Amino acid sequence: MAKEKVSTKNKKQSKGLSAALVIIVCYGVALLIFYKIFGNPENFIDNNPDNHPKQGNMLGTIYKGGFIIPILMSFVLTVITLSVERFIALNRARGKANLDKFVASVKDKLEVEDLAGAKELCAKQKGSVAAVVNAGLTTYQQMAEDKTGLLKEQKLAAISTTIEQATALEMPTMNQNMPVIATFTNLSVLTGLFGTVLGMIRAFSALGGGGGGVDSAALSVGISEALVNTGTGILGGAFAVIGYNYFSAKIDNISYAIDEIGFAITGVFQSKH
């Protein structure tokens, strides 16, 4: 029964944001920003996007970064969106009250074998940690009341197995979309470098222009394209690294809390039964 409850709850929680859908929507938003805001004719000389940006106009300069810019912008927007989604999801997994206080309270209830009180704390706490603990407590109660003559080691193994299985059911919910964020740590930088290479090719083409002269306009556009792509790629990569490390630490903290209570449940059962 405990396994079925945890499994059903996990199915309900696992319906998070689809990374593929987020990427598509963010790319659409990036295109709108790129053409409607950065490519606004007012940002350019003679109100013509084909001309140079007006002096000191950063929006027009970014627009001159070329077609790689909306791709990089979609990466940044995707990382931000998925980071917000992970922040909300992991806070739900931790539960309503402070996680450390919840762990300490459950351990106090276990010491006096107040299983009803511990399960009541789980009902109030909610979240993935509480679901795992509740599954472990249910099996604890079943093993404590068992009259089939199971050995103590078998009962402990049953409790540990329940906790492990419940944890395995909750982990996919906590790790959802994390691989996507991790992918953008390198993909954003590499795409930015690709845009940089294209910009430098344009710049060197201007230096080697025909007629013995240097096309200063084409040279400046090429350099702008290179630098803007570099900067945007680094920005997206930085956001992804920060987000991935931050949420990985939160997931580790939740895992440690589950392990701590799991050890407490088996330890109390071993000492009192």
Q: Which residues contact 193 (CB under 8 A, 6 or more apart)?
A: 229, 230, 233
Q: Which of 242, 237, 259, 236 is nearest to 87 (CA)?
A: 242
Average pLDDT, whole number, for the chain? Answer: 86
The whole-angstrom distance between residue 26's C-alpha and the CA centroid of its chain comes to: 16
- Rounded CA gap, 56 and 46, in Å? 15
- Please name the amino acid found at residue 215: D
Among the ranges given (68-72, 80-84, 126-130, 198-202), the one the predictor scored with the smallest mean pLDDT: 198-202
The whole-angstrom distance between residue 189's C-alpha and the CA centroid of its chain comes to: 18
Give CA separation, 88 vs 75, 94, 188, in Å.
Answer: 20, 10, 24
DSSP-derived secondary structure for 218-245: HHHHHHHHHHHHHHHHHHHHHHHHHHHH
pLDDT in tens, 148-195: 778 888 889 999 999 999 999 989 889 999 999 999 999 999 999 998
Confidence of residue 66 (pLDDT cuts 50, 70, 90): confident
Beta partners for residue 53, in sequence order: 44
User: Which residue intervals of 113-215 are DSSP H helices?
Assistant: 115-125, 127-144, 152-175, 178-207
pLDDT in tens, 30-52: 999 999 999 999 988 888 888 87
